[in-house]
Each structure stands twice: as structure tokens, then as C-alpha cells.
Structure 1
Amino acid sequence: MPELPEVETTRRKIEPLLRGRVIASVEHDAPHKYRDTHLAVGRRVQGLSRRGKYLMLQLASADAAEDDLHDLEFIVHLGMTGGFRLDSGPHTRVTLTLEPDGAGDSQQLFFHDPRRFGKMAVVRPGEYAGMPTLAAMGPEPLSEDFIEGDFVRLAREAGAVKPWLLSQKPVSGVGNIYADESLWQAQIHPAQTRLTAAEGQRLYTAIREVMAQAVDAGGSSLGNGVGNYRQHDGLSGLFQHEHHVYGRAGQPCPRCGTDIVKTVLAQRGTHFCPKCQVFEERPRS
């Protein structure tokens, strides 16, 4: 957490606050976690995009026209508990101040991160050597670049499918929650290796459907702790009410009624239905 749906919801909510505004200051006390953020000061935010679980602010000089090429990117990874808020609090790690707009109003956004796993960096566009996951990330699941045939071919040679999805290489933005949900929908065991063509096709479709539904619902908010995902205005996501397996160990599978099982796979809590998602031994050919 947060995964693609939560990060995309964040992007949609805060872009109107940032687009066209000049960054007046970026305040924090952890330069090793928030690298070169001073380079953003005095630059205008031309847009806010997302790649997988990363937010990417496009920055240009303050006097640049909106359609001029941006010369820097402000990369934000929310980590496990990061998120933007309109008010400061005990877990505020970064304060982003924008210069007054045409109405004379300034704006501040506060990056909250109770567990301190979030990171930021200002880099030149495409220079992601210090961010290997971003540099090697697969296609966006809701884009035309996510091609069924390519995914199915890769899946036929994959190791355990859930860790493979979490690597971000076959498709971007799929984390623990949405891997479990997609695998349940596709009726594939999380540890299954070397998917058949039919399994790969089902999983491709499930990923696209689950991600689209989760984005429409504003992501998933789990529990009531201070580190749980909320939108910048404090609102919760709603997709947790649509979970079929994630966080539902011991509850009946919505499809067959068998109790959902929780296990650990690649050091991640993993939820599945032992009847609907059966593991098959498949020796290498």
C-alpha cells in the first residue's frame, strides 16, 4: 500500500492544486530520502503523471509556456504509508509550498508518512538510474501498451506468479492487494508457475478489470490506523468493500463458499481460495 489505484486517485485529486503553480519551497529534514528537492524551487508544475506506483511532477522554468518541454521531474514514491494532506500533522515529513496564484492565494501540501518509507527525488526526465524499479517497469495495465499476447508469452515462463507480478516487470502498479484479487478472479494459485495460455489470458483480463474497478472506487482504505491510505482531503477509498479474498482469511469464498486461506509467499501475506485456486506441479519442459 498504496498501489496503482491509490496513487492514481492521489494524482487525480492533487493535480488541480499543482498544475500551473510555481513551487516556492520544499521543506524537510531528510535529504537522503528526499533527494535534490531544492532543484524544484522556482519551477512551474506543468503536469502530474503516474508510472506504476510513482507520481511524477513535470517541472519547467517559471516563465515557460505550458506547452514548453519540461526540464526536470519531481518523482514521488508514497512507500507503505505516505500520502498528501491539506493540513500538517505529527507525521508530516515534507511541506510543499506554492507561490500565490492569480487570486493571491498561496497553497501548501503536506506529505504525511508515519512509517517513513516514502521517497522523493528531482531528476532530469528519464534519468532513473537511482530508481531501478521505475527504470525497468512493465506496461501500465490500463494502457494500450499492456498487450495480451506479450503478457501470455511471458507468463508461460514465469516462476511463482504472485512474486512475478509484484516485481513490476510484466505489468506495473500491481501490489499485494490487487495481485491477490486478480489471481482469485482468474482462478490461479498465487504460487503457480508457468501459466498455460488460458490462465495467462484469464489473468490479463482480471488485472485490467480489477484495476479499473479499484481506480473508479478511489482505491482501498484498510483499517483506521494513522498509516492507512486516505485521499488528500481525508476521504477513504471504497474498493475494500469489493475485496473477495484480500484481508478475508477464514471467511467464505464468494464463488464456492470454501474458507479463504492466508499464507506467506515471498514474505508477503497472501490470500486465496484453496478450492478455486488449485496449485499444479509443472516441470520445466
Structure 2
Amino acid sequence: MQEDYTAHEKEIEASDRIDHPYADENGVEWTVEAWERVKHAPEFVRPGIRKLMVQRAVKRNYKYITSDFLTEIRNESMMLVSKRVRQFGFEELSMGAFDVAKQKMAESPRKVEVIEEIQDFLALRTEKKEDIVDKFKNYMESAPTSGMPWTQDAMEKMEKVPPFVLGMAKQTIEARARQRGDKMVTPDIIDEVFTNVMPASAKEAMGMEVTEEDKQRDVDYANQQDDEPDFGMPWDDDAKAKVMRIPIPFIREMAIQRIEQEVSKENAERVTMDLFEKYRFSF
């Protein structure tokens, strides 16, 4: 959760505020520390970083871009790059990965241009180039080739979750992360899910304390269980019954939407049990 800068901002004179029109247009402000950190990035990527940070802040309803938030998005971006590199077939971020990336991005001249600018920048920093590559090693080790990436801290946080509820817990956490607009699972998302989303029965199975609020949430989930979701195509009865067993409404809706998208790609006209089983973990 982002820090509260309200009291701090009251002490800032108008002349001290960061002049960033794009941020102003979107009702977002930069803290001085975060703005100064961006100045250390290569000049050609600074505009992109500033724009991305404002977009991420707006998506998460943050009013201020802090240094901690900058770190969070940097880590998220490095993980996503590592995931893409692994999808290219590389087990580590070697400099050859840039050439492969340019081939893959050939239909997007601007992306190719950015990749070439990064290569040129690294070429000017020969003595530090390998240090930069080394920074990606931890990300490469944990980056998946598919699915949502998890930070190392987040993965460690899940180590005590019993295996028989681990799959459901991960699905719930990743679904909540997507709903929030996050690109990577972090410990704070796990805390939010365990506190405000996870059914009481699942918390009991994990040996967690169950509160009266948890029990009431289960009652609310049960009351919504009979509500018919919006199905976009026909479902076989057994497949529909299976998806309706997902206890958390927003996850059930996401599952239906995602499964139907995948089934449509196969040019199938209805969701069968076989197709449900094939794509049930794709959302």
C-alpha cells in the first residue's frame, strides 16, 4: 500500500512541485526523490519511464509517485523482460538476446529502434555492461515462460501453504493481481487476498486464523453462488457445473471469460468438459 503523503504535501510550496504536464493532466504528482532517481536513467528512456509511472499510478489509484513505487515498477519491468527473454529461448540475458528481440519485433520499427538505442548505450559502457546483465540473473531464475511472474519474496511467502490448496491459492492471487492491473505478484497482493478474499474454509486448511468477517464473506459468496453469470457461448452442463463451483464470484467470472476466449480461438462453438479441463488454469 502506498504511503500517505498528505501531511508532507501540505508543507510543499507550489514552486517546489515537479513540473510534469503529463502527470498534472492525470492528477498525479512526483515526489522529489522519485523524480531525481529517474534522472540517473539513460536520457533516451526517461520520457518512457515517466509516462509509464504515471500510467501505473493512475491504474492503481495512486496520487503520488514515490521512490518505493518506482522500485516496484522497475522490478516488475525487469521480471517481464526476463520472461520475454526466456520465451525467446534464452536461459540468461546474453547480449545476443537483443538481436533475437529485434527479429521478433521487426514489424514494430519503434520497438526495434528502442532496442538498438539500448544496445548503443550498453556499448558505450563496456566495463559495466556485464554488471547490467548480471542484474537480470535473479529475475531470469524465477521468471516463468508463461503465466504471471512472481517476485522471489512472494514465492517464499507461499512456501508454507499446504500443497492441496496451493493451486487454488495461486489462482486466486493471480486473478486478484490481474484485476488490480498488476503485472507481477508481490507479497502485498498475497496479504490482500489472504485477508480480504480467500474463503474461510481455505484459510482453515492453511492453518490461518479465521475471523467473523471471513465467515460472513463465505456466506456472501454462498448467496451469490446461484446467480447466473454472463456466459458468452453455450456450455455443456457438466462443464458449467464445474465452473460454478468456483466460490469467489470475480474469479468465476474471469475464468468464464478466459476459457471462452481460448475456446473461441479453436473455433469451437461450445465449452465442453474436455475444453474446460484444458483451459481451466489459463486465467
The TM-score with structure 2 as length reference comes to 0.22
Q: Between Structure 1 and Structure 2, which shows a larger proportion of strand residues?
A: 1
Q: Which has the higher contact order (CA 8 A, sep 6+)?
A: 1
- Max radius of gyration: which structure? 2
